[in-house]
Structure 1
Amino acid sequence: MNVLRHAARSLRREFLAGDLMTVFAALALGVAAMTAVGTLVDRVTLALTSSAAEVVGGDLGVRGREEPPAGLADEARQRGLRSVRMVAFPSVLFHGEASQMATVKGVSEGYPLRGQLRVGHDEGGLGGEAAKTPAPGQAYADPRLLKALGVQVGDEIEFGNGRVRITAVLLAEPDASGELLQMAPPLLVNRADVDAAGLLGPGSRASYRLMFAGDAAAIDDFRQWLQPRLDGRVRLVTIEDAQQGLRGAFDRAGRFLALSALLAVLLAGVATALAANRFALRRIDTVAVLRCLGARQRDILAALSLQLLLLAVPACVLGIGIGMLAQMALVEVLGSLIPARLPLPQATPVLSGAGIGLLLLLGFGLPPLLRLRGVPPMRVLNRSFAALPPTSLLTYLAALAATVVLAVYATGDLPLAAWILGGLGALAVLSALAGIVLLWLLRRVQRRVGGAWKLGLAALTRRRALAVVQLVGLSLSLCALLLLAVIGPGLLGEWRERLPPDTPNHFLLNIQRDQAGAVESTLRGIGVADPDLQPFGTGRLVAINGRPPRREADDGADGAGDEANRPVNFSWRSTFPPANTLLAGTFWKPGSTGAEASVEEGWAGRYGLGLGDTVTLQLGEQERTFTVTSLRKADWDSFRVNFFLLLNAGAVGDAPYSLISSFHLPSGRTAALAPVAREFPNVSVLEIDAILQRVREVIEQVAQAVQLVMGFSLAAGVLVLLAALQATAGERRFDSAVLRTLGARHGQLRGAVLVEFGALGLLAAILAVGAAALIGTLVSRQLFELALSPPWTSLLAGGALGVLLSLVAGWSGTRRILRTPPALALREA
């Protein structure tokens, strides 16, 4: 027996029969989804690693709210390192009557240390070229700033106590840190101009940086020298910071994509298993005949396995090609959500995609073939057949484990995989148990009914194992389709609704106490209904539970260490703040004078704080200790003023503070705030309409990308649905032929099939709807941090559609069976 020739001929003859086509499509879809998402994640990771030094503007640095000590730059110079000082702060710029909020960045000579600063000479940014630090009196302005102020290159703008001339258009900053949501358009100036403008006085919201660059060995030595000398006023800036910032922007998008890709792979595996099982069952008589003709067991099994392998090679190639095209589309759709310069695709994610395909084939397609080893030659006479060997179950489990490992490796999201796999695994077990119980009940009901009901229920109880397999497959496919078609869009919709139309789009910072009344009156005059001015204080974190504070090692900061005298921002109030949720403890009552503190859960986790712990703060000239009496969760996406640390207003005393306010102004009313900036020069006005618009753009980009990957998953779900519904097609054809021979009418046969598929579809829909609601709710809260309520109307509609599809599949299959003559059906069976 020529194994290769037999496999090739059989594949060519049987490819369009249905089962192998399903296996081919399932493999291609699984490989395509994993290749697309895995390649995108890999390219983003490589881009973050390769360009991190450019993103932070150096190899190492320190940052803080105060100027870093001059001795650090002197030490770096002695070690042969280059350094540059930078300061960034928000400020309002003026040109005539026009005003615009800008992020002013002052840089010293030698900027940039890493990367390239690019400028143009017209508003369109044409003819970009590399540039160095702007000379004193000159500035590089973002195109948005030129448009807002109505100025051109060569014009002067008011800058603090003086003026600067715009000499170029700022096109690219190497140390922009990948900030997708920049607060205001940037203006790059010389550090000497910032010092001369008088904009860095007390209360200014400036951020200082001192960056270093040099040989890797010298940087490592300097880092070791620097770390023990840092106090709470400055912190390290490392390459990992840049990677973390860009990763944070990509994280939620990647999680949505990983959800779709993971479901696509799992559904492809289920479809492969169902189709391969039917393929194996239809080859039983062929194997028996070959055994009678003297073929060896191993040759037969090798030929069938080789047939699937020959099928898998073009399927994997096609899947990789589709995946690479989809990855290119994802890059275009996600746009600025990912780094601008991505490296070329690497071989690793492509090999992972091909590995997924082979695992799907060998793990889910091989176990049914193992059953054929036990087909005896006497099968041609007595219809005997071996039971499923235990090794098949082990192969399924090993394939599932290996597929999950590769899927997690490619998507990089273990928690998401754990939740989804755990939910679907529990659903599979529950479906199997429910199927066993259902068949036990139907066997007793069957005796009390007649006609089509009796025939349909008898078909289910007669093929118990296949009925349970069908129920599990239907439940999994319907649940996955509901997760993709209902829960996925629901999560995206919930994300969109986090930004309602009245989201605060302006902030006022550094309002002094004696200005509060005038500022509030001015805000009411321009249409702000409730200009809530809240105290904003900055103190020193002295101790936690009487000991120097230390961060937890896994909080994602620069590392655990001594945090004594670290600056900390706080506020105080008498009532529970809006856009917050009380998690534990009790918030103090109005009028209370107890030294109580309310801590946001993120800050509490960072320092290991719990109810009853104490926090000691340096508030101006006084040192006070507060007891943590409540933990809360702040909704940072609300764009309201939120604080990690809230104190009881009755126990603060005379701590120094300024005021801060957030409010909403209708679009186009920003110019009304110009008098505030002119009358109160110390007040910083932040307009974040651009930020809100950018957030909405990001959400839409993610939604489009997810819909693209979701297409693979939906197609895989449909394959599973069809494979599950066709799992018993051969048996039903034989049963129908026997019944027609015995005189059964067409109406009775159709009714019996509708009862059979209706019962399976209804139970599968009930299980799938409940599982999708539970999994969606848990995943949305635990991983996406979104409070999604199950959309029961859509879920029930999806479940009803699943039942309808099941009935349609049964009706369609019955029509084909009724067109087949009974004698032919019996001969084929």
Structure 2
Amino acid sequence: MNVLRHAARSLRREFLAGDLLTVFAALALGVAAMTAVGTLVDRVTLALTASAAEVVGGDLGVRGREDPPEELAEEARQRGLRSVRMVAFPSVLFHGEASQMATVKGVGEGYPLRGQLLAGRDASGLQGEPAGAPAPGEAYADPRLLDALGVSVGDAIEFGSGQVRIARVLLAEPDASGELLQMAPPLLVNRADVDRVGLLGPGSRASYRLMFAGEADDIAAFRAWLQPQLDGRMRLVTLEDAQQGLRNSFDRAGRFLALSALLAVLLAGVATALAANRFALRRIDTVAVLRCLGARQRDVLAALALQLLMLAIPACALGIGVGMLAQMALVEVLGSLIPARLPLPQAMPMLSGAGIGLLLLLGFGLPPLLRLRGVPPMRVLNRSFAALPPASLLAYLAALAATVALAVYATGDLQLALWILGGLGALAVLAALAGATLLWGLRRLQRHVRGAWKLGLAALTRRRALAVVQLVGLSLSLCALLLLAVIGPGLLGQWRERLPPDTPNHFLLNVQRDQAGAVDATLRGIGVADPDLQPFGTGRLVAINGQPPRHEQREADGDDDDSNRPVNFSWRDTFPPANTLTAGRFWEPGSSTEEASIEEGWAQRYGLALGDTVTLLLGEQERTFTVTSLRKADWDSFRVNFFLLLNAGAVGDAPYSLISSFHLPSGRTAALAPVAREFPNVSVLEIDAILQRVREVIERVSQAVQLVMGFSLAAGVLVLLAALQATAGERRYDSAVLRTLGARHGQLRGAVLVEFGALGLLAAILAVGAAAVIGTLVSRQLFELALSPPWGSLLAGGAGGVLLSLLAGWSGTRRILRTPPALALRES
């Protein structure tokens, strides 16, 4: 027996018969999904790593609310390292009657340490060239700032108590390429000008940095020296911090994409197993005949395995090609969410995709073929057949474990994989138990019914093993489809709803207590319904339960000592909006007890619980507060939220300023100019650009997820078709026998509808419940969204699954009834 020739001939003859075509499509879909997502994640990761030093602005640094001491820069110089000082803060700029909020960054000589600063001579950007720090009295302005103020290169603008001249147009900053959500257009000035015009007085919201650059060994040695010098007022800036905003924004997008890709792979595996099982069952007689003709067992199995392998090679190639095209589409859809300069695709994600395809084939397609080892030549006479060998079960488990490992490697999200696999695994076990229980009950119910009901229930109980396999396959595929078609859009929709049209788009900072009345009246005069000026104090965290405060979880830089660290807080009489009470009780209005309400994230950070005490240094007084409530703040609401809230009646005379967030209709920002002019100390932050950027992120992620979801939905449909066709041959044989015995067409059609209706109904019940539970847990644990199960859509999807099952049964019955009984018996 020529194994290769036999495999090639069989493949050509049987490819379009249905089973092998299903296997081919399942493999191509699984490989395409994992190649697309894996390649995208790999390219983004490589880009982030390659540009880390450029994004941070150096090889190492320190940051804080105070200017780092000169001793650090002096030590760096003695070690042969270069350094540069930077300070950034928001400020309102004026030119005539025009005003614009800007992010001012003052830089010293030697800037930039890493990367390239590009500046142009005009707003077109056509003459952009590398540049250093602006000279004293000069500034580089973002084109948006020029448009807002109506100025051009060479004009002067008000800057604090003085002026600066726009010398160039700022086109690119090396240490700002990761700023997805930039507060306002940047203005780059010389550090000396910031000190000269007095913008860094008390109450300023400035962020200081001292950055270093040098050889890797020198940086490592300097870091070891620098670490012990840091106190609670300074933090390390390392390459691990590179593009953290981009990483965070891409993280949720990556999880949505990984969810779709992971489900696509799992569904492709189930479809492969079902189709390969049916393929093996249809080869039983062929194997028996070949054995009678003298073919060796190993040659027969080799020919069948080679047939699947020859099928897998073009399927994997097609999957990789489609996956690369999909990856290019994902890059286009995600746009500015990902780095502009992505490296070329690497081979490893494509090899991982092909490896997943081969695992799907060998792990889920080979075990059914192992059953054919026990087919004796006498099968042609006595129809005997071996049971599933233990090796097949081990192969299934090994394939599942290996596929999950590669899927996790490609998507980079172990937690998501464990939640989804755990949920679907529990569903598979529950479906198998429910199927066995259902069949046990139907055997007793069968004797009490007549006609089509009796025939349909008898068909289920007669093929118990296959019925359970069908139920498991239907439940898994329908659950996955519901997760993709109902839960996925629900999560994206809730993500959108977190930013309603009236989301606060302005912040007012550093309002002094004697200015509160005038600022409140001014804001109400321009249409702000409720300015809601809230106290904003900064103190020192002295102790927790009488001991120095320490993080429960050590940070990457190893600095877990929070002794004497600055902490922001507020106080009020009533429970704050955009917060949810999770434990304890909030104090009554008018109470003077020293109580504190802690945000649960901050409580976890320091291991705080109800009844613990927090000691703060408020100005010159040290006060101790008892934790009486824990709450969860909705940070996505863009309202003013605090980790630490104190009872207003127990604060005393602590120093503070006032802060507010409010909504102004688009285009009304100019109305805030009088506030900035009348109260120069007040900072006005417009975050419309941030809100638009967040909405853009959501929309782009939604489009990308829908693209990958197409693979998963197609794989789910394949599983449904494979599960519904798993017993097509047996039903064709049973129907032929019944027709020979005189059964009418209506009885046969009704029996099949009963059979498929019972399976579809039970599968729908299990799938709807599992999708609701898995969706709720995943949304809360991984996406931090409190999703309530959309029961209407889930029930509609379950009803659609039952209808699809009935349609498949009705369609199969039509084909069977058109086949003459004699021909059906010969084919079976």
Q: Over residues 92-129 of structure 1, what are the superposed CA-to-partner deviations in whole Å (9 max), with x where a residue is unaligned?
A: 01111111100000000110000011122332322322
Q: How many Å separate the matches in 2 of 1:766 and 1:129?
A: 65
Give the corresponding residue for 1:474: 474
Give secondary structure in 1 for the equivalent of 2:242: helix
Give the corresponding residue for 1:715: 714
Does 740-749 or 479-488 show the bigger shift? 740-749
Q: How many Å separate the matches in 2 of 1:761 and 1:275?
A: 19
The residue type paired with residue 47 of structure 1 is A
Q: Over residues 337-392 of structure 1, what are the superposed CA-to-partner deviations in whole Å (9 max), with x where a residue is unaligned?
A: 11111111111111111111111011100110010000011000010100111111
Within-5 A mapping of 1:261-660:
261-554=261-554, 556=555, 558-660=557-659
| TM-score, with structure 1 as normaliser | 0.99
Give the corresponding residue for 1:230: 230
Q: Over residues 375-426 of structure 1, what are the superposed CA-to-partner deviations in whole Å (9 max), with x where a residue is unaligned?
A: 0110000101001111111111111111111111111111111111111111
Q: Do the aligned residues in 2 keep the contact of 1:499 with 1:638 (CA within 8 Å)?
A: yes
Give the corresponding residue for 1:108: 108
The residue type paired with residue 304 of structure 1 is L
Q: Do the aligned residues in 2 keep the contact of 1:86 with 1:108 (CA within 8 Å)?
A: yes
Give secondary structure in 1 for the equivalent of 2:448: coil
Give the corresponding residue for 1:785: 784
Give the corresponding residue for 1:757: 756
Q: How many Å separate the matches in 1 of 2:251 and 2:270?
A: 28
The residue type paired with residue 24 of structure 1 is F
Q: Do the aligned residues in 2 keep the contact of 1:552 with 1:560 (CA within 8 Å)?
A: no
Q: Do the aligned residues in 1 keep the contact of 2:120 with 2:169 (CA within 8 Å)?
A: yes
Give the corresponding residue for 2:168: 168
Q: Over residues 695-738 of structure 1, what are the superposed CA-to-partner deviations in whole Å (9 max), with x where a residue is unaligned?
A: 00000000000000000000000000000000000001111111
Q: How many Å separate the matches in 2 of 1:465 and 1:21?
A: 24
Within-5 A mapping of 1:670-681:
670-681=669-680
Q: Does residue 689 of structure 1 match 2:688?
A: yes
Q: How many Å separate the matches in 2 of 1:428 and 1:653?
A: 61
Q: How many Å separate the matches in 2 of 1:279 and 1:220?
A: 61
Q: Over residues 229-255 of structure 1, what are the superposed CA-to-partner deviations in whole Å (9 max), with x where a residue is unaligned?
A: 111111111111115432212110000
* Shift of residue 130, structure 1, vs aligned partner: 1.2
Q: Does residue 98 of structure 1 match 2:136?
A: no
Give the corresponding residue for 1:815: 814
Q: How many Å separate the matches in 1 of 2:122 and 2:734?
A: 80
Give secondary structure in 2 for the equivalent of 1:175: helix
* Shift of residue 547, structure 1, vs aligned partner: 2.0
Q: Does residue 775 of structure 1 match 2:770?
A: no
* Shift of residue 751, structure 1, vs aligned partner: 1.3
| TM-score, with structure 2 as normaliser | 0.99
Give secondary structure in 2 for the equivalent of 1:508: strand
* Shift of residue 45, structure 1, vs aligned partner: 1.0
* Divergent runs of 4+, >4 A: none
* Shift of residue 27, structure 1, vs aligned partner: 0.4
Q: How many Å separate the matches in 2 of 1:586 and 1:177?
A: 45
* Shift of residue 761, structure 1, vs aligned partner: 0.8
Q: Do the aligned residues in 2 keep the contact of 1:598 with 1:646 (CA within 8 Å)?
A: yes
Q: How many Å separate the matches in 2 of 1:791 and 1:561?
A: 43
Q: How many Å separate the matches in 1 of 2:124 and 2:698?
A: 27
Does 670-679 or 437-446 show the bigger shift? 437-446
Q: How many Å separate the matches in 2 of 1:549 and 1:446?
A: 70
Give the corresponding residue for 1:68: 68
Q: Does residue 150 of structure 1 match 2:150?
A: yes
Number of residue equivalences = 828
The residue type paired with residue 593 of structure 1 is S
Does 448-457 or 359-368 show the bigger shift? 448-457
* Shift of residue 574, structure 1, vs aligned partner: 1.4
Q: How many Å separate the matches in 2 of 1:559 and 1:639?
A: 31
Task: Give 5+ residue unaligned stretches, structure 1.
Answer: none
Q: How many Å separate the matches in 2 of 1:64 and 1:412?
A: 32
Q: How many Å separate the matches in 2 of 1:243 and 1:166?
A: 29
The residue type paired with residue 435 of structure 1 is G
Q: Do the aligned residues in 2 keep the contact of 1:553 with 1:560 (CA within 8 Å)?
A: no
* Shift of residue 557, structure 1, vs aligned partner: 5.1
Q: How many Å separate the matches in 2 of 1:227 and 1:624?
A: 31
Does 819-828 or 517-526 show the bigger shift? 819-828
Give the corresponding residue for 1:741: 740
Give secondary structure in 2 for the equivalent of 1:447: helix
Q: Do the aligned residues in 1 keep the contact of 2:775 with 2:789 (CA within 8 Å)?
A: yes
* Shift of residue 177, structure 1, vs aligned partner: 5.8
Q: Do the aligned residues in 2 keep the contact of 1:551 with 1:559 (CA within 8 Å)?
A: no
Q: Do the aligned residues in 2 keep the contact of 1:550 with 1:560 (CA within 8 Å)?
A: no
The residue type paired with residue 810 of structure 1 is G
Q: Do the aligned residues in 1 keep the contact of 2:270 with 2:364 (CA within 8 Å)?
A: yes
Identity over the aligned pairs, expressed in percent? 89
Within-5 A mapping of 1:28-47:
28-47=28-47
Q: Over residues 606-625 of structure 1, what are the superposed CA-to-partner deviations in whole Å (9 max), with x where a residue is unaligned?
A: 22222222222111111112
The residue type paired with residue 582 of structure 1 is L
Q: How many Å separate the matches in 1 of 2:741 and 2:313?
A: 47
Give the corresponding residue for 1:253: 253
* Shift of residue 146, structure 1, vs aligned partner: 1.3
The residue type paired with residue 312 of structure 2 is A
Give secondary structure in 2 for the equivalent of 1:103: strand
Task: Give 5+ residue unaligned stretches, structure 2.
Answer: none
The residue type paired with residue 17 of structure 2 is A
Q: Does residue 700 of structure 1 match 2:699?
A: yes
Q: Do the aligned residues in 1 keep the contact of 2:180 with 2:245 (CA within 8 Å)?
A: no
* Shift of residue 683, structure 1, vs aligned partner: 0.1
Q: How many Å separate the matches in 1 of 2:368 and 2:545?
A: 63
The residue type paired with residue 672 of structure 2 is L
Q: How many Å separate the matches in 1 of 2:337 and 2:594?
A: 44
Q: How many Å separate the matches in 2 of 1:459 and 1:129?
A: 79
Q: Do the aligned residues in 2 keep the contact of 1:585 with 1:631 (CA within 8 Å)?
A: yes
Q: How many Å separate the matches in 1 of 2:557 and 2:617?
A: 24
Within-5 A mapping of 1:132-211:
132-176=132-176, 178-211=178-211
Q: Do the aligned residues in 2 keep the contact of 1:177 with 1:242 (CA within 8 Å)?
A: no
Q: Does residue 804 of structure 1 match 2:783?
A: no
Q: Do the aligned residues in 2 keep the contact of 1:477 with 1:721 (CA within 8 Å)?
A: yes
Q: How many Å separate the matches in 1 of 2:806 and 2:586?
A: 57
Give secondary structure in 2 for the equivalent of 1:537: strand
Q: Over residues 774-811 of structure 1, what are the superposed CA-to-partner deviations in whole Å (9 max), with x where a residue is unaligned?
A: 11111111111111111111111111111111111111
Q: How many Å separate the matches in 2 of 1:49 and 1:543?
A: 38
Give secondary structure in 2 for the equivalent of 1:168: strand
Q: How many Å separate the matches in 2 of 1:132 and 1:611?
A: 54
Q: How many Å separate the matches in 1 of 2:565 and 2:91?
A: 26
Q: Over residues 210-234 of structure 1, what are the superposed CA-to-partner deviations in whole Å (9 max), with x where a residue is unaligned?
A: 0000011111111111110111111
Give secondary structure in 2 for the equivalent of 1:335: helix
Q: Do the aligned residues in 2 keep the contact of 1:509 with 1:685 (CA within 8 Å)?
A: yes
